[in-house]
């Protein structure tokens, strides 16, 4: 399942790259893309694990960029 999310207060391209790398390491994620310019995130993950994946994504993003919010 591929889903897109808007991001709020993502401050730099470097943080976006760090978030993308960390998200790709989460179990069940097939691919991820975090765009600083568009302030969007795309996650391709296993359907049956998607809720679990999103919980981990929120944690990972908060570690890298505490001010950034994922608009679910």
The CA distance from 51 to 49, in Å, is 6
pTM passes above 0.85: yes
DSSP H helical ranges for 1-72: 13-24, 50-64
What are the tens digits of pLDDT across the range 3-24? 999 999 999 999 999 999 999 9
Q: pLDDT band at 72, cuts 50/70/90? A: confident
Domains and CATH numbers, the chain: 2-71 (3.30.70.100)
* H/E stretch holding 45: strand 40-45
């Amino acid at each position: 399942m591929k889903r897109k999310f808007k991001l709020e207060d993502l401050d730099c391209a470097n943080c976006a790259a760090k978030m993308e790398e960390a998200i790709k390491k989460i179990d069940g994620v097939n691919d991820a893309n975090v765009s600083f310019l568009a302030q969007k995130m795309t996650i391709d993950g296993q359907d049956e694990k998607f809720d679990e994946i999103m919980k981990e994504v929120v944690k990972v993003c908060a570690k890298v960029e505490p001010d950034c919010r994922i608009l679910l």
